[in-house]
Amino acid sequence: MRPTIKDVAKAANVSIATVSLVIHNNERISTKTRKKVLRAIKELNYHPSRSARGLVSHQTGNIGFIITEERFLRTEPFYTRVFLGAEFEAREKDYYVLLATIDSSFKEGDPLPRFILERNFDGIIIAGKVPTTFIDSLLKYKRPIVLIDFIPPDGGYPNVLINNIKGGMLATEHLINAGHKNIAFIGGEISHPSIMERLRGYNLALEKANIRNGDGLIVTNDEYLSRQNGYKSAGRLFNNRKDVTAIFASNNATAVGVMQYIKDNGYKIPDDVSLVGFDDVEADLLIDPPLTTIRVPKVEMGTEAVRLLLDILNNKSNSTKSTVVQVELIIRESTRAIKK
């Protein structure tokens, strides 16, 4: 049988209350007693029962982690890394993470994950864009919510954001510094605030360098970011502008599609066209040539989200604080200085 607080109390020859107080670092217990109790805890390999604890304290020790099925299954392990960061941090802080996916077309009345219905969570992390209706149906549970890489239209939630503007600037400036003038932006899912910001960074960098980019260099649509979409968009781009020498693709999958199109049409990377992606996933290294990209600290985003959430749960923070994680330019072989 697993040891209970009673066993510890008996072993240390104190009351169960004392054991509980030691566990919670209450300063009312003398160092001597504290040591005695801690020794007993270690000897018996005692771990408090979550059930008993939850029953009296009305806290579950669970953090929900919600992501759309689509995003979770994405070929690039972007959000799996975010999850990993969250799980590590939660483990550290004595919380469990309950991962559940929802449909990206979630409608009001659709079944919610069990732990939500059963109110078995202290707070919830939502990773990536989800339907507003989903967030709405969470409201009545009155638990803190932290969003990752997503700002819903009505805003007002604490979130962990990527410095997308900076990323867009870094990518574009890298191309400008290499002497490029006709720099294109290719981005799907343009309604996503993050993609819009990357475009904004792109524009800011061009402005700063006094480059007036002519028509047809910005190709966007609102389809899901994917290889196919990148391939298609590259086609549209090259139909209009044969003079393009550099492309900034708003995420990695798009970049791979763009690369495929360029290869299929007899151009060479980076000889004819330089290409920069966004995200930095392993696949970037395996493709030919390895992709220059903007690195996003994925694991850190997960840990930050948990920290933010726990700060709110412990009243250390009001519920509108947000964190912005920084990005970094990773230069590989898909970009080079323009031929004179």
Q: Are 146 and 123 in contact (CB under 8 A)?
A: yes
Please report the DSSP string for 198-221 in residue order. Answer: HHHHHHHHHHHTT----TT-EEE-
Interface stretch with its own copies, choices 89-97, 144-152, 185-193, 212-220 (CB under 8 A): 89-97
Asked if residue 56 binds DNA (CB under 7 A), the reply is yes
Complex with its own copies: residue 211 or 287, whichever CB lies closer: 287
Alpha helices (H) along the chain: 5-12, 16-23, 31-44, 50-57, 69-72, 78-92, 114-117, 132-139, 164-177, 193-208, 227-240, 252-264, 283-286, 298-313
Among residues 6, 107, 263, 268, the one that binds DNA under rule CB under 7 A = 6
* Stretch binding DNA (CB under 7 A), from 49-57, 86-94, 175-183, 199-207: 49-57
Stretch that binds DNA, among 23-31, 139-147, 240-248, 327-335 (CB under 7 A): 23-31
Distance CA 94, CA 85 (A): 14
Examine residue 5 and tell whether it contacts DNA (CB under 7 A).
Answer: yes
Q: Is residue 209 at the binding interface for DNA, with CB under 7 A as the rule? A: no
Among 192, 198, 227, 232, binds its own copies (CB under 8 A): 227
Q: How far is CA 314 from the centre of its chain?
A: 23
Per-residue interface string for the shown chain with its own copies, residues 264-303, x marking contact by CB under 8 A: -----------------xxx--x-x---------------
Q: Is 15 in the site for DNA (CB under 7 A)?
A: yes
Q: Are 133 and 102 in contact (CB under 8 A)?
A: no
Work out whether 91 is an interface residue with its own copies (CB under 8 A).
Answer: yes
In the complex, the smallest distance separating the C-beta of residue 66 from DNA, rounded to whole angstroms, is: 24
Considering the complex, state which of residue 24 and residue 142 has its C-beta at the smaller distance from DNA.
Answer: 24
The Cα 83–Cα 46 span in angstroms is 29
The crossing angle, in degrees rounded to 10, of helices 193-208 and 164-177 is: 40
Q: Which does 84 bind (CB under 5 to 8 A by kind): DNA, its own copies, none?
A: its own copies
Binding at 304: pick from its own copies, DNA, none (beta carbon under 5-8 Å per type): none
Please say whether the dihedral angle defined by the alpha carbons of residues 70, 264, 236 and 170, taken in this order, is positive or negative. Answer: positive
